[in-house]
Amino acid sequence: DIQMTQSPSSLSAAVGDRVTITCRASQAISNSLAWYQQNPGRAPKLLLSAASRLEGGVPSRFSGSGSGTDYTLTINSLQPEDFATYYCQQYFTTPRTFGQGTKLEIK
């Protein structure tokens, strides 16, 4: 199985800040990476696929990059609704696997 390691596991930031979350795969995944946002008690919401392709309706302050084994999610100018938990997911091989999550908290 491909292991997905996110860092940091938690992050404290203020409204207006720029934050970056990193996801490292245990082997190359050829940009087959998705990012999700999850609020407590809710299903995850897809933000990006193919490492950098923004889903419809997702604000442009969210962006993704990376290649090979290393990927990043960047959120520019944090808004109050962005404080949530973020997960990466690889879909290069089965089983589909997720990072352990990054909890973004308000400072």
Partner 1 sequence: QVQLVQSGVEVRKPGASVKVSCQASGYTFTDYNIHWLRQAPGQGLEWLGRIKTKNGGTNFAQKFRGRVIMTRDTSNSTVFMELSSLTSDDTAIYFCARDKDAEYFPYWGQGARVTVSS
- Kindly list the residues in this chain that would bind partner 1 in the complex (CB under 8 A): 1, 32, 34, 36, 43-44, 46, 49-50, 55, 87, 89, 91, 94-101
Pick between residue 15 and residue 50 the one whose CB is nearest to partner 1: 50
- Distance (Å, rounded) from C-alpha 30 to C-alpha 72? 14
Residue partners of 49: CB distance under 8 A and separation at least 6: 33, 34, 55
Q: How far is the CB of 27 from partner 1 (least distance, A)?
A: 17
Q: How far is the CB of 4 from partner 1 (least distance, A)?
A: 10
Q: How far is the CB of 91 from partner 1 (least distance, A)?
A: 4
Residue partners of 42: CB distance under 8 A and separation at least 6: none
Pick between residue 9 and residue 77 the one whose CB is nearest to partner 1: 9
Pair 41, 85: CB distance under 8 Å: no
Pick between residue 8 and residue 15 the one whose CB is nearest to partner 1: 8
Tokens of 98: 């997720």
